[in-house]
Structure 1
């Protein structure tokens, strides 16, 4: 039952996209793209190795798939720009995922497979929740992300692409500027962490953006999605007169679920919580870092005296 409930938000968003005549075409193509991609890249390898980490390759390239579908469907500048945003987010994370996969030989026959820490942490959750079938649990985690790509995460893109009368307004410019700034700052945070590690410094990275948040990369990734939601709001209102009210309400709910889903994912499911579980074990100074630095939302350092 717990896992059924976990699927419901995605079912709502998927129903909205498929029932709205303005979004049903892209939604169907995207569903096909995600099924093929996740089957070949994650589900089959996950079944053979009992590892979930293949998701880190499948889901960002799934964003690229959403971007391509949106680019084909769009006939105005705003639609093209939102497609470019998906392509940029997906390619950035997708290339990193491929590097990790090749480095650890995830698809190399006979090579030892290294599960990422966040998915090792998932196994602790499975034990606590009483899930005994590893095969089923691995497939559930993989296809839950595939379902997210096919539904919730596609809502902003397809809503904007469906608005054929949209012009480049001040609202659009502000939303895209917020997305671009957040994209750059996520990249900066990752780069600061990489430089810290490359210098061979011991302990916890608390430099730059990491001085204000323990997970600035996650925060700015979340802000990118919030920017896409803001970008889609005018188009959502434009669709209202030509959309059945129940379907429009589901579409609006699906748009709200974008921010909520990413927040829960980045703070609890596969983001901050599992990362910090292992950081505390590896770094003696991490508990002090936790006590003095905000977990997610950036802010000034806390005084523990």
Structure 2
């Protein structure tokens, strides 16, 4: 199967998955389920690349295994979090629903499709690596693996700390563990994970194109759907307590000095 066909198939599969997810979201009036399947789409892409890409088997199995493990972990974490309040839509999507009224459902459909397309665009490092026929692994691949292990572990710890805090401290601001040093340590380690994929891809021809993924993720986290939307919702729900937290912590990078 040629490379273009593989990419087109990934786009079609992710689009079909997101169309079905939109149908479910429409039925239950909760667009927040898109987060679950945005994460699960990456393991789907990893499995399809394992089956279709013709690159070196060791490299292909390594990168695809990394993608599958990380995607399943994050998707399952979000599945449990969203399922706990399936009848109550996340505040970020409630706000979008208000802004997009009276055509919110139609706009959410295209929003879901864009999420599916973004899955494929962000998969550039995986695709490049999985198509590489070169047999020997090099420093970029080994460095990428180490960065990936640190990132996935850090994100899992941050998610676990937030989950435990919320269970015991309803409505309060989490400021313990990694959250003491950064308001969004989960986002930081998520971004670092994408950096690790791009570093891994440097061992393959055209691997420099993999930098597109962490740059897109960084822009989304800092300017669009990540930190801005999350902090707006936190300010609406927690008010002055969250403002004080903002003054005492770094917005993104743990241990980076807070802006006073």
Shift of 1:214: 0.6
User: Unaligned regions of 5+ residues in structure 1, if any?
Assistant: 1-20, 106-112, 239-250
Q: Is the 8 A contact 1:76 1:167 kept in 2?
A: no
Q: Is the 8 A contact 2:36 2:78 kept in 1?
A: yes
By relative contact order (CA 8 Å, sep 6+), the higher-ranking structure is 1
Equivalent in the alignment of 2:247: 291
Whole-Å separation in 2 of the counterparts to 1:262 and 1:60: 13
Equivalent in the alignment of 1:143: 113
Equivalent in the alignment of 2:48: 69
1:265 aligns with 2:246: no
User: Unaligned regions of 5+ residues in structure 2, if any?
Assistant: none
Whole-Å separation in 2 of the counterparts to 1:88 and 1:75: 20
Equivalent in the alignment of 1:248: none
Partner deviation per Cα, 1:59-86 (whole Å, 9 max, x = no partner):
1111111110122224321211110111
Larger radius of gyration: 1
Whole-Å separation in 2 of the counterparts to 1:30 and 1:300: 38
Paired residues in the alignment total: 257
Q: Specify the SS of the correspondent of 2:203.
A: helix
The partner residue of 2:154 within 185, 205, 215 is 185
Equivalent in the alignment of 1:85: 66
Partner deviation per Cα, 1:110-148 (whole Å, 9 max, x = no partner):
xxx321122123345x45xxx752122111211110111
Cα distance change on mapping 1:201 and 1:103 into 2, 3 Å: closer
Q: What TM-score, normalized by structure 1, do the two folds share?
A: 0.76
Q: Is the 8 A contact 1:163 1:235 kept in 2?
A: yes
Shift of 1:100: 4.0
Equivalent in the alignment of 2:168: 199
* Large movers: runs of 4+ above 6 Å: none
Cα distance change on mapping 1:47 and 1:302 into 2, 3 Å: closer
